[in-house]
Amino acid sequence: MKTCQESSIVFFGTSEFGAIILEKLVQADLSPVLIVTTPDKPVGREQLLTPPPVKLFAEKFRLPIIQPDNLPNIAMAELRRQKIDLFVVASYGKILPKTLLDIPKNGSLNVHPSLLPKYRGSSPVHAALLNGDEETGVSIIVLDEKMDHGPIVASSNFKIQNPKITYPELHNKLAEIGAELLVKTIPDWIEGKIKPVPQNEDKATYTHILKKEDGRIDWNKEAVYIERQVRAMYPWPGTYTKSQSKTLKILKADIIKNIQEE
């Protein structure tokens, strides 16, 4: 039987969340044999072609990278030839088809920044902040063809004690927690010591892909909601309000009590 370090891992990831997970794998001597990330995209007003964070990290450590436009176009024959043991997926941004999921001997593990089945989908960290949750966490699941649906392999809770925590701060904390949990989980998973637990579908909730409009402030909402929105939507899509033809960006907000004059 292969040891954990001898196992062939393919990593799927795109964003900064994925880059933090990948870094921890490399530090734990679990470097993937291949990195799969999304193509470079034009960013900003000048539309400069920009590589995803996972690619930047992989290049730094000279890890092999592919950036397929279409997942079925991945050289699946090559992956089968390499006898891949495990896929690890962290904020890749695309659902893996069954033709890919069938390849690794030990299946595919997905690191998701919420306590599943709560907050499936693409914006769970934003949702936790927007809803004023006092606790969130990270789940590691067996990946299947449905979105964040597979059985739970491991999870770790995180209490949000800082009432002013912003999206980047919570995002990075959950990435660190998820990375540490993944490194601890992989050896037991490969050795067959973990029995995954199905998610409770009755408790499943979903988040959506954020749009620019999600940052627009509705002044009919309560102050507590608007303050959360500012923290949750920073830095993107950002919060803003419009007055006639002008747009005012809101970078920070606080709540003050309404003190009426006697």
Grade residue 58 by pLDDT with cuts at 50, 70 and 90: very high
Phi, psi at 80, each rounded to 5°: -65, -35
Residues in contact with 160: Cβ distance below 8 Å, sequence separation at least 6, in sequence order: 128, 133, 134, 135, 136, 170
CA–CA gap between residue 217 and residue 210 (Å, rounded): 14
- Residue 3: the pLDDT is 60
Indicate whether 123 pLDDT > 50.
Answer: yes
If one compares 51 and 76, the residue with the highest pLDDT of the two is 51
pTM of the entire structure? Answer: 0.93
Which DSSP letter does residue 48 get?
E
Give the model's pLDDT for residue 68: 86
> Burial level of 255, CB count in 10 A (0-12/13-18/19+)?
exposed
Mean pLDDT of the chain: 92
